[in-house]
Amino acid sequence: MSKLAINGGPPVRTKLFPAYNTIGLQEKEAVMRVLDTGILSQFLGACHKDFYGGPSVQAFEKQWAQTFGAQYAISVNSNTSGLIAACGACGLQPGDEVIVSPYTMSASALAPVFYGAVPVFADVSLNDFCLDPKSIEANITPRTKAIIVVHLFGQPAQMDAIMQLAASYNLYVIEDCAQAPLAKYKNNYVGTIGHIGVFSLNYHKHIHTGEGGVIVTNDTQLAEKLYLIRNHGENVVEAKGITDITNTYGFNFRMTEIEAAIGIEQLKKLPHLIQQRQDNVNYLNNHLAKIPYLQLPVLHQQNSPVYYVQALKYLPLGKPIHRNTYVNALRAELPSALMREDTPLLAYGYVKPLYLQPFYLQRGHSCSFNCGKYHGHATYHKGLCPNAEQLHYSDLFTHEFIRPGMTHADLDDVAEAFFKVYENLDELMLPA
């Protein structure tokens, strides 16, 4: 008789895990205070004090800057908008190249295209899943203008080596911290190490405002450009006496007063929520480290990851069992969570390497490739980044069981499921 649930045995658990919901009474009260004013946004696309937004927006930005130790925090309506604004502030132009990660959400690589620049994919490290500095350097050319570093899954990239490269080649560094608020590289918060850092407040991140994002920088000139790009900068450059108007034409990337009010309350909760994720990972690791075919991420002792998800590598140790089969077996043992009933909390791979998307394979219809100003040789094809492909197609899987709200009893069920599959792995080799 089969013991594994995937083969008909009883699962370890059927009761849904707790929901992850960071919104509470404090956020509701904050929203009501804004609604009572009748002012849901106070931005003006003109040279006026309200060019910088209303009181909630400005208060939220001030608190974010203080929390992260940055001189400037500029709120936007999404992390994607923040990345686009960051690329514009760095002065990207048609013909420029930007080194990006192939293993990340698509906007992290696509943002340079809005200014006619060309994404060049460097490979990721098999240890921390972030950009590999050696691959970055191998892809630098005279056309390279910037590097977009993604702190994937809440794990800091190798920033010392990356910043050394940036200094040697006179490159901007944009940090995509969508999954890494309050993560530390050595003694510094990610996002404050490069020239610009961008954070996400999308609904499934550590904290959220529904949609939203925040950009941080310590550079006054970059901050001015970011403000202009956020809010119809073409209307104010003359009045402000700005003579370098490169990329200062503005979008509408503005955050509302309601989102900012929610963000103020969410930010207060962030340290405690991060601590819970770290505690849950440490608790689970004490169990999972005993399973020989699992490899935990290799972390620098001085780094402090914040675990958007827990990423693990599956090593079959000679058994003819594919990672997807293994993950499916785990899924059968464990349910999802309240508010996520139809979505498994375990996933194989992350995203297909971005250079295999039709946009890159067909070179889109973007000026980046077709305006005649690009004289480089960026290529997009299978095999371009072997580490990213190995992780996606065979090695990497992630889970969300480390979210705040999980009790030790819940985590014990997760560990039991991992051990049950480990102890009965041979069942997965039986013919269907």
Q: What spatial distance separates the first Cα and last Cα of the chain, rounded to whole Å?
A: 14
Amino acid at position 206, single letter: H
**Distance in angstroms (rounded) separating the CA atoms of residues 354 and 106:** 7
Q: Looking at residues 189-203, what average pLDDT do you find?
A: 98
Residue 432 pLDDT greater than 80, yes or no: no
The span from the CA of 103 to the CA of 207, in Å, is: 23
Binned at pLDDT 50, 70 and 90, residue 336 comes out as very high
56-70, 201-215, 223-237, 352-366, range with the lowest pLDDT: 352-366
Neighbours of 212 (CB within 10 A): 28
Secondary structure element (H or E) that encloses residue 314, with its range: strand 310-314
Q: Whole-angstrom Cα distance, residue 140 to residue 142?
A: 7
CA neighbor of 255 nearest in space, from 197, 196, 214, 203: 214
Name the more confident of 371 and 103.
Answer: 103
- Give kind and range of the element (H or E) at residue 277: helix 257-288
Question: Could you confirm whether domain 1-432 is CATH 2.60.40.10?
Answer: no
Residue 287 is predicted with a pLDDT of 94
Conformational region of residue 405, where left means phi above 0, alpha means psi within -120 to 50, and beta covers everything else? left
Contact 87, 172 (CB under 8 A): no
pLDDT given for residue 430 in this prediction? 62
Q: How far is the C-alpha of 216 from the C-alpha of 60, rounded, in Å?
A: 13
Least Cα distance to 215 among 204, 203, 205, 225 occurs for: 225
Segments making up each domain of the chain, as ranges? 1-432
> Which pLDDT score, from 0 to 100, does residue 147 have?
99
> Is 0.95 topped by the overall pTM?
yes
Q: Which residue shows structure tokens 């490169």?
A: 246
Considering Cα of 88, then 89, then 90, then 93, what sign does the dihedral take? Answer: positive
In angstroms, rounded to a whole number, what is the distance separating the alpha carbons of residues 203 and 209? Answer: 7
Rounded alpha-carbon distances, angstroms, from residue 219 to 63, 108, 195, 223, 344:
18, 21, 7, 6, 42
Per-residue pLDDT, averaged over 418-423, amounts to 96
Alpha helices in 38-175 (DSSP H): 55-68, 79-89, 107-110, 133-138, 159-169
In the predicted structure, residue 2 carries a pLDDT above the cut 90: no
Q: Residue 31 above 90 pLDDT?
A: yes
**Residues annotated as catalytic (active site), given as ranges:** 205
CA–CA dist 82, 86 (Å, integer) = 6
4 Rama class: left (phi>0) / alpha (psi -120 to 50) / beta: beta
Beta carbons of 411 and 403 less than 8 angstroms apart: no
Q: Report the pLDDT value the prediction gives residue 371, as an integer from 0 to 100.
A: 82
Q: Percent of the chain scored above 70 by pLDDT?
A: 99
Measure the CA–CA gap between 186 and 168, rounded to whole angstroms.
22
